[in-house]
Structure formats: structure tokens, C-alpha cells
Amino acid sequence: MREVITLQFGENANYVGAHYWNLQEAYADEHRTGELFTQRSNKPSVPRALVFDAVGNFGAQALEEDLQSTGNDEIDEDQALWAGAKEVHRQPLYPKHTDSTQPTRMRFWSDFAQTKLSPHAMHVVSGVEFGNSLGEMNTFQEGLQVFAGTDSRGDVLEGNFRAFAEECDHLQGFQVLADAFGGFAGYGSAFMAKIRDEYPKAPILLYSVGRTQPARQLRNVQLMDAAISVATNSEIVSMSVPLFTPTPITKLNAHIHITIGTTDYG
């Protein structure tokens, strides 16, 4: 078996990742193999993937199992330490919408996801402690700072990443979907650099995902981030594939219409 570990960094990358796993799930109904999915006895196979995003981008339903199990553990622990009355208030979980015919109701990338991910694959990244003064992670440099701060507390490759790697019989390599610019571009780049140090000969295939908008609509900081990301990752990854919708879009099919801003192509 030649297994592949998938890593996803940022909102744009996770939208693409959600549809990617939907396709893999549909194909795997008849041809499921262990390259991309874990094969554990007495447990349903799940993608061998780690997903990183801001807490507000997951959608409550995507983290429901994790939140419920974590919350119950915390309650049990608190009850053991406190014998008095206790009242717990929880915000209702956001209902997951799966009707793709009503795209206006789809708020999160997890609304599109049909493939069950392990709750341990979800990793919330926050810039509150190591990001800028507002607790944000908007630039490539801020992403590097957040990663460095997180890694200083403990090796980020330990835990779920290490568990995935050690269960592989013959690790083939890594495929990464990461935002092309912004904080998660920097965070993902630093994570890949850490992987390269740990696995110097393993191939790393990077899909750099950007939003569907012309370059002239990008702010200067985003253009700079994208340039820094390309330059930095070129020294780390084995191959980098940019994923942007080209503009202007040539007319490929009379039934396809793509709107970018106020311009309609098709």
C-alpha cells in the first residue's frame, strides 16, 4: 500500500477540498482503496486528511461530534471538581444545509461536504495569541508567526499528523490544498517546511487555491502575499499547481455561464 496524506489550509482550499472528497467518495463506493482513506478494523474508513481553518469557517454541523464529545468531557471533569449546582449554556449548532439547488443557503464549505471526516481531522487555527493585535491572521507573515508560536508550544507534527503517518505501510507522499494568499498561505507554507525537514525525500504536491476574481481586483497585500507564497513554496514542494478561474473565460460551452463581479462570461 502506498498511502497519501492530505492537508488542507484555509477557507478557499477547504471549499475545493469538500468537492474533491465528494468525488472520491462517489468513486470509492465501488473502488475504495487505502491510498487516500484510512482502513481501520471495525471502523468506517475516513479520508486520511487534516483540515485547518478558522473556527468561523467550519460550520457548527461539521464540528458537532467533536464539540459534543469535548463538551461532555469538560462537564464530567468540572462536576468532579465542583459539587455545587452547575448550569451550562450552549449556543445552538448551525443547521447543515445540503440542498445545492439553493446556493444562497450554503454558508460554509462544510455545507457542501458529503464525505464524513474524522472529528480529529479538524484543526481550528486562531491568531488571537500569536497573530496581530486584533487577533487576526490576514497576511502570509502573520500566518508564519502563528505557526511559529504554535510550534513553540509543542511539535505540530505530533498528535493526529503523526498518527496518520505511523499507520502507513509505505507513505507515498503528501498532497496539500492551501490558500494562495493570506494567513493560511503562510501557515500552510510553514507546515510544509516542517514536513520537508521530517521527510526530506517525500514528494509534496501543492494545489494553491485562489478566489475567482481578476488580478486587478486583488489588493496589493494579496498580490504580495501570492508572490511570497510562490517564491517560498518553490523551495519546499515537489510540484505546485495554481488553481484560479482564468479571466476572461473563453466560451467553452453554450450552457455554462460564470459571473465574476458584474461581468458575465459564457
pLDDT in tens, the chain (266 residues): 689 999 999 888 888 888 888 888 777 665 556 788 887 667 778 888 999 988 777 775 445 544 434 444 444 444 556 677 777 766 555 555 555 555 555 667 667 777 777 777 888 888 776 766 566 788 899 999 999 988 887 778 888 899 889 888 889 999 999 999 889 999 999 999 999 999 999 999 999 998 755 555 556 777 888 889 999 999 999 999 988 766 554 445 555 565 555 555 45
How far is CA 85 from each of CA 76, 78, 82, 247, rounded to the nearest angstrom?
13, 11, 8, 61
- The three grid cell numbers given for residue 33, joined into one nine-digit string: 482503496
214 closest CA partner among 249, 185, 257: 249
Quick one: pLDDT at residue 178? 94
Quick one: pLDDT at residue 8? 95
Neighbours of 51 (CB within 10 A): 28
Supply the pTM of this predicted model: 0.74
Quick one: pLDDT at residue 51? 92
Find the Cα–Cα–Cα–Cα dihedral 214, 219, 221, 225, rounded to 10°: -10
Contact 12, 180 (CB under 8 A): yes
Quick one: pLDDT at residue 250? 47
Q: What's the half-sphere exposure (Cβ side, CA atoms, 13 Å) at 213?
A: 13
DSSP assignment of the chain, as one string? --EEEEEEESHHHHHHHHHHHHHHHHHHHHH--TTTB---TTS---BSEEEEE-GGGS-TGGGHHHHHHHHHHHHHHHHHH--S------PPPPPPP--TT-GGG--SGGGT--SPPPGGGEEE---TTTS-TTS---SHHHHHHHHHHHHHHS-TTTTHHHHHHHT-SSEEEEEEEEESSSHHHHHHHHHHHHHHHH-TTS-EEEEEE--SS-GGGS-HHHHHHHHHHHHHHTTT-SEEEEE---SSPP---TT--EEETTEEE-
Quick one: pLDDT at residue 85? 79
Quick one: pLDDT at residue 88? 73
Neighbours of 33 (CB within 10 A): 13
Peptide bond into 246 cis (omega under 30): no
Quick one: pLDDT at residue 196? 95
Quick one: pLDDT at residue 69? 40
DSSP assignment of 119-177, as one string? GGGEEE---TTTS-TTS---SHHHHHHHHHHHHHHS-TTTTHHHHHHHT-SSEEEEEEE
User: Which residues sit opposite 206 in a β-bridge?
Assistant: 176, 240
